[in-house]
Each structure stands twice: as C-alpha cells, then as structure tokens.
A = this chain, B = another copy of it.
C-alpha cells in the first residue's frame, strides 16, 4: 500500500482507521535510502533482538523484557529506516528527536543504539543493565546524562509531554530561522508510548495541546499491547483511543501486525513523516508483549526475567543455540551497517546548508549560531533594571517580576514564556508579545499568533506546562529557556515535572505567584502552607522567595545564572513594602544575608522571608520600642543558595555559636527552618478564606503579637540559657488552626 493511499482515521466516516499491512517499498523521497527489505534477514534481526533482550534480563534476574521484545519490529522500522540521526554524533543539531515515554522498556532503545553503532553503547555496556556497575550508561530508565538520550523518562506520561516540547522547539526555531530553500531546522520528534502513558493526566493534557498547536512534526507511536502490570488494559480502560485522539486533533494511523510486519510499520511511519494533514500523528501499532515467549500477551512478561529454562526455549524456537548468550551475528550488524554513513551524510548536508545560509543571511546566521551554542543573543544582565530604576512604592512581587522579566523576554528570543491561563494575574506579558499558535487559527477562530511566537497559553494544564517545558529546554542546552507561570499552590499539580527538570538539570524559571495566605479570599485551597517544604528539599532546585522589587531582580539574576538548575520564584499577590536601605540583589545570590544589623550587640536574630519580611521588620521596631530588645534581621530568600556558601559566610549571617537566638517568621509550615533557627513563628494548619490582610491577622501574623511572643522567648533564653533552648525547637505561633 502506497503511503498516499493511507486514509487518516480522523477523516474516515466511521472513525475506524484503515489498517496498514504489507509491502511499503519505502522508496519515497521522505524516507531514508532504503533497499527492498529482505524477509529472511528481517526475521533474523527480530529473533536476534528478542533473544538478546531475554538474555540481558536473565543475567541479573530482572528488568522489563516484554515490552522491548514486543516493540522489536517498530525498532527496526524506526532506527534503520525512518529516523534521521547520526549515531556517531548523537547531538547533531537537526537530528530527529526520539523519546521513549514508556521508559521501562529502555533496553529496547539501548539495544538498537548498540546495533546501529552509537559509539559508547557497546555490548559490554548493554550487559551492565541492572548490574552493580556504577559506570553503566544503561540505567533502569533512560537518563539524559547519557549520549543519545534526549530526556530522562520513567514516570509515566512525562515523556510524551516532553516530546510535545521538543516538537514545539523545532516549530519555533524553524519559524524564526528557516528561509526558502534553507530548512535549517526541520527535524521530527518521534515518541514511543505504551498503554500506561495514554492513561496519565499529564499525557492527556499534552495531547490536547499538541492537537491544538497542530504539531505535524510530532509522531507518537503507540505500542498497543493492551497489557499493563495488573493484566489486560481493559481492567481500567475501555475507551476508544483512536476516536479520542482524532477528537483531540490528531491524525490516526493503525498497523495491524506490529510484531512482524516491518514493512507496514515503515509505511505508516513514512506516511506520518510526510503527512499533509497538518496534525500530529498517532500511529496505533498492535503488538504482543513478550512475543516469542510462553508468557506472550501476559502481564507476566512485563517486569520480570523469564527464567533460564524459558530463555532457552525462546532461543530454540527462534532457531538459535540455547547454550549461547548475547549472540549477535555479523549479518545482523551488517543489516544496520548503512546507518552510520547515512548519519554522516545528513550532518554534512546540514553543515553545508548552514554555511550557505550564512552567506545569504549573515545576521540571522550569527544569531542562529549563538542559539545552537546555547548562548543568549543579548547581554541580558544589562537588561535587568538597576536598583534605582525599581519602584519605591509598595509593590506586589508578582508585579516586580513582570518589571524585571518582560524587558528580557521582549529582547531575548531564547525566552519562551507561558502561563497556565493566568495572564491577568502573573504579569508576564511584554510589549508586542506574539503568541505561540498555529497561524491558521486566526481565520478559523480569531486567535492571533504564529510559530515564531514566544508567549504560550498553556490552558489550565499546570502539569503539562512544566513537562512540556522540560522538552523545550531539552531540545538543545541553552537554546530555549522556558518560563512557566501559575499560582504557587498549583505548582503542586506540576510537581512531578518540576522534579524531572531538576533531575535532568534543565534550566527553567517557574513564576509562582499568590505564594502565601496573603492570597486571601480564594481560601485554603489556594493558600500554600506545606509546598515550600517540598521545593526546599528537592535537589538541584532553587526555591527563591524575594521580599521586594530589588530582591526580585536578584532572584532573576540567580535563576538566570543557574544554567543547569530550574528555579521557582515565589511571589506575592499583595503589595509588599520596599526596603531600599536593606535589600540587595547580591544578597539573594548568597541565599541569605544580613538585612539589618545591630552593630553593638543583638538580643535576637529575626529571619524574614519573602512576602512576610514586613512582619520581621515591623516586629523588630516593636521589640525595640515596647520591649527594649535589639533584633537584627536576616533576609533569607533561598535555602539552597545559602547552603552553597562557605561556612564562614554562613556563620557570619546566622552568628553560629554566639548565643543569639534566632526566630524565623514565615506563614508556612516551619519544617526545615529548624536548621537555621531555635524558634519559628509559622503556620500549623491550612489557611482560611479571608481577605489577605485579614487572613494574616486571623493566623496571628501581626507585628505586635509577633513581638510579644519573641520577647517572651528572648526572656526565656536569657533566664535559662541557650543550651536549654536548642534541644527543643519552639513554635511561637500556637493556638491557631489544628495539626
């Protein structure tokens, strides 16, 4: 069946996709240079691959063999025939991106990477899967640290969202830099998913967005084996997946025999690559988990080795010697022998193209070169307002963030800024911003924008916003800086993806507004209490709570400087006082700093944090005037940055061992602050629906009451000594809410 004869399901009257089967020649300008496929050799490759998988799982009695075996033919179609990449240079800029969303089948990817000739992926390395070797590049799920892996996957649903981001990156770069006859960026993104990924909410959000944006450079291959850990997928899912994808704006193709019919898979993938539907393509490929084993089609094939006897049986049935292990014949290696040279040719053609482009469009070419290198195209530090240019009147830090970020976003094509449907609240819109949209939406529903656009309306999809942003950042280090935004509380929805960004060392800036009970009337569902504890504990993440406009500028400086680390900027809804005498952006970079010193001896150190700094500064005044107590104030916007400072600096800020008690004041659960203080004035319950100022008051946040409690605490320390204090952390704000 010729690709052109494939009928997309979304246009079929009965919503059933036309089945693809049989002999695609692949001799098509949109595919690679493919010879007519030799049935015998193909069979040998599939059998060899499956036995190798069985052996690799058997050696340490673990791993996920079934999915990898079931996807063997898909792998042949993809890695040998359809995907464009260069095994000897896995980071070739215009390579097709591949994402294994069903990451537990990673052995499938590792093994094809070995067969096609990724330099580091030796047979010895394959054998390190599930071993105790700490030099393994074959971990239990694919990890971005290793060459040829585009994104770390494993938590289900993340990968397909990442793939949407990778496809968006291509669209944006292509729209920005491509010129007639110069398709500098035209790679496809291929994503493999299983039954599980398609059930996860984050995937469903991302699927809706890919359809909305008409990302026709994205091809999702569905390993439809209908088996999950519990058994038949029907146990929990009986929907019409094809119809759902079509309703979400996807083209749907189907392959009936994904176990063996490499030709049909190639035909489908070629059709997908060259589709003119203007839609992302969903290729539903029917496979059998653990095909070739006695547990084929059974959940038992999913997550355990088969046992030595069954591995022997599989080999016998495959026509191999059951006594031999890890066998790959030269015929099999030869089968993939053309992939490397093809990759070199792709690279060379691209380099020549870029070179010719440079002659014709020298300015754009220079800018493009910077983007490829992951460098900003402007001197960004100078675009951040100086202290004297910041507002002096009380200002919400969400507004300060806009003042700092929007001029940057206007100038820096690297920035892609979006919001989970909170544009009016998060202040991230810059002058003349263009939306990232498919241009055809203008005539059909009046939506403006195009693929050069860098402002993203994510809809009410916080999780996909962060997960897709990971894909944007992963396209090529530094080429795109994703900036997301929503209320801080809803970064709990996004948390699994924020974590994956931190784990992968992908820079991103998350603008988290409405960060305290000061959020007000929306009530406890919208008032974060415990969320900061998560993000302060998360490795490789900067959770930064600035207290005024100057510290907000400092927060952006810190976040922009952390090129392998995502940041959350935690910002107020309500106006915050400005502290021009005290606040310093350089202090933010150090995590904490002395805000107000008491030169001639202090009785107590008050730790002020972000949106609640006003209570520390106010309580200090009351302590002095009403109680004759001298309080120094430390501003503490970021614990992780502080931990990175030398001990001398930390000792100076917190006065280690000087017998001055420290009290942290923050309207969150205090968990974690005990490291820096002997007492806390904090929250021990969820919040309450009241106007912001009233909510603070309701929970005892007022300078008078805080000063009274601190004064009593300082008195106790003076009477009983620091020693008695420090074994037992003191909660000074008791009697409100419940535990």
Contact = CB atoms under 8 A, between A and B. Distances in A.
Contacts of A244: 244, 247-248
Interface stretch (A23-31, A358-366, A387-395, A523-531): A523-531
A156 interface: yes
Task: Specify which of A153, A211, A669 lies most central, judged by the most chain B CB atoms within 10 Å of its CB.
Answer: A669
A347 interface: no
Contacts of A737: 539
A493 interface: yes
A5 interface: no
A237 interface: yes
Contacts of A529: 537-539
A537 B530 contact: yes
Nearest to A206: B201
A557 interface: no
A209 B200 CA distance: 12
A640 B739 contact: yes
Contact of A208 (B143, B237, B520): B237
A529 B150 CA distance: 24
A529 B143 CA distance: 17
A155 B63 CA distance: 38
Given A140-B523, A539-B669, A132 B694 contact: yes
Contact of A539 (B143, B233, B247, B685): B685
Given A237-B459, A671-B533, A726-B726, A134 B690 contact: yes
A331 to B, nearest CB: 32
Interface stretch (A65-73, A403-411, A460-468, A703-711): A460-468
A716 B675 CA distance: 19
B672 A671 contact: yes
Contacts of A381: none
Interface string A417-450: 0010111110000000001010001000111000
Nearest to A424: B229
Contacts of A200: 201, 205, 460-461, 493
A723 B725 CA distance: 10
Interface in A121-158: 130-132, 134, 136, 139-141, 143, 152-157
A457 B235 CA distance: 6
A654 B213 CA distance: 58
Given A205-B200, A249-B238, A521-B63, A689 B657 contact: no
B675 A503 contact: no
Interface string A529-554: 11101101111100000000000000
A495 B212 CA distance: 28
A205 B204 contact: yes
Nearest to A521: B140
A458 interface: yes
Contact of A686 (B492, B503, B523): B503
Given A212-B239, A459-B228, A728-B657, A521 B62 contact: yes
Contacts of A726: 722-723, 726-727
Nearest to A103: B525
A349 interface: no
Interface residues of A, number: 139
A130 B195 CA distance: 45
Interface in A285-332: 299, 303
A738 B236 contact: no
Contacts of A303: 424
B247 A243 contact: yes
Given A141-B522, A672-B672, A691-B130, A235 B499 contact: no
Contact of A196 (B141, B460, B727, B739): B460
B143 A421 contact: no
B196 A201 contact: no
B229 A689 contact: no
A111 interface: no
Contacts of A531: 534
A202 interface: yes
A457 B236 contact: yes
Most central of A209, A446, A534 by chain B CB within 10 Å = A534
B228 A460 contact: yes
A492 to B, nearest CB: 5
Interface in A631-656: 640, 643-644, 650-651, 654-656
Contacts of A540: 685-686, 738-739
A334 interface: no
A446 B140 contact: no
Contact of A656 (B140, B435, B445, B728): B728
A38 to B, nearest CB: 37
B199 A202 contact: no
A736 to B, nearest CB: 11
B671 A536 contact: yes
A675 B729 contact: yes
B525 A154 contact: yes
Contacts of A350: none
B230 A139 contact: no
A509 interface: no
A132 B521 CA distance: 9
Contact of A155 (B103, B203, B205, B493): B493
Contacts of A234: 441, 445-447
A35 interface: no
A341 interface: no
- Residue from A202, A500, A659 having most chain B Cβ neighbours under 10 A: A202
A235 B435 contact: yes
A278 interface: no
Contact of A674 (B229, B239, B435, B674): B674
B212 A671 contact: no
A659 B724 CA distance: 9
A689 B135 CA distance: 11
A627 interface: no
A402 interface: no
B689 A139 contact: yes
A131 B521 CA distance: 8
A181 interface: no
Contacts of A452: none
Contact of A229 (B209, B421, B659, B698): B421
A493 B496 contact: yes
A400 interface: no
**Top 3 closest A-B pairs, CB basis?**
A201-B201, A236-B459, A139-B689
6 contacts: A155-B526, A199-B460, A201-B204, A232-B445, A236-B458, A502-B686
Given A195-B460, A493-B496, A540-B739, 17 more contacts: A130-B691, A136-B689, A140-B520, A140-B522, A196-B459, A200-B205, A201-B464, A202-B493, A204-B204, A208-B239, A230-B423, A233-B459, A539-B684, A540-B738, A650-B728, A651-B728, A655-B727
